Amino acid sequence: MKFLDLAKVYIRSGAGGGGSVSFRREKFIEFGGPDGGDGGKGGSVWAEAVEGLNTLIDFRYQQHFFAQNGQHGMGSQRTGADGDDIVLKVPVGTEIIDEDEETVLADLTEPGSRVLLAKGGNGGWGNLRFKSSTNRAPSRANPGQEGVERTLWLRLKLIADAGLLGLPNAGKSTFLAAVSNARPKIADYPFTTLVPNLGVVGIDGKEFVIADIPGLIEGASEGRGLGDQFLGHVERCSVLLHLVDGTSSTLTKDYRTIIGELEAYSPDLAEKPRVTVLNKVDALDPKTLSNRKRALEKASGGPVLLMSGVSKQGVNEVLRKLWAEISEDRAGEEEVTPWRP
């Protein structure tokens, strides 16, 4: 299955059916009077977040969604049938964005959450509605209301608790494969990860989700490499795990490159809690390891954990640190959630 996190759709709600102009024509009834029924309502267009989807690839092959029109009213006071609604089933974490590509109309972060994208038109009144004491035989009816037509963007941001960051070949995919059942592509050349991957991680009886995105390079915010198009998938994360290749001779520059790209993409993302890890420590001798850890601590201004995704050295300590940040963020969300009786 191909991964697609941005799609453009064209939607239109159904128009309401027109009212009917009709008069009773029955034997032995001298003054029949009007009996035109109302038109039916047009169908609406909804978006619903469903579980089991993790891509918007379906919207590449079908982009137009038109709800059914309501039927016209009929004689004998018969109301036209309502048009059927259309429901766009999207993955959890999908944002609905207006045509300007900036205005967020809805953010579907919970399974089963729905949002009305285009309301169907109301049906027109039949001539029976216009009967009065002074107008016993009205000969007019209302047309149905037109449907709503609009162009929208769907943007998927994966739901994960922790996000992996680092330069290409920093060991992100190896780490994800070591701590979860995810099987991302692993190779000894850059950009082996072309699409985001999710993995469920367990530590001390607790579980959380980690997202691995393609590596960033200097100038990613300007479109170099794969650019920063996948950084949106870690915007929802509680904590970022920044992996730095310990075998690199320019590890402080590598660290600053990632931080610079985060700040260029979004100051809010750059301010998220980060866990900095010096990776591939099994390939370093003790003296080199000590010097590089000290240099990275100076560059980051905080503690640095040591880890090897291949030998799994220090992996549990990293996972416990991530869980501590995640549980703290969840506790903060519970405190600000308003109480509802």
Which residues are known binding-site members for Mg(2+)? 173, 193
Burial-class residue 239 by CB neighbours within 10 Å (0-12, 13-18, 19+): buried
Query: What is the C-alpha separation between 261 and 42, in angstroms, rounded?
Result: 48
137 is written with which tokens? 């035989």
Q: How do beta strands 104-108 and 94-97 pair?
A: antiparallel
Instruction: Show binding-site residues.
Output: 166-173, 191-195, 212-215, 279-282, 308-310
C-alpha distances out from residue 7 to 17, 76, 96, 155, 226, Å:
32, 47, 10, 7, 18
Give the annotated binding-site residues for GTP: 166-173, 191-195, 212-215, 279-282, 308-310
Structure tokens at 282: 């099994």
CA distance 279 to 313: 10
Rg (alpha carbons) of the chain, rounded to whole number: 29
C-alpha–C-alpha distance, residues 26 and 94, integer Å: 57
CA distances (Å), 105 to each of 108, 155, 185, 236, 240, in order?
10, 11, 35, 17, 27
In angstroms, the CA 237 to CA 40 distance is 46
Half-sphere exposure of 319 (CA within 13 A, CB side): 24
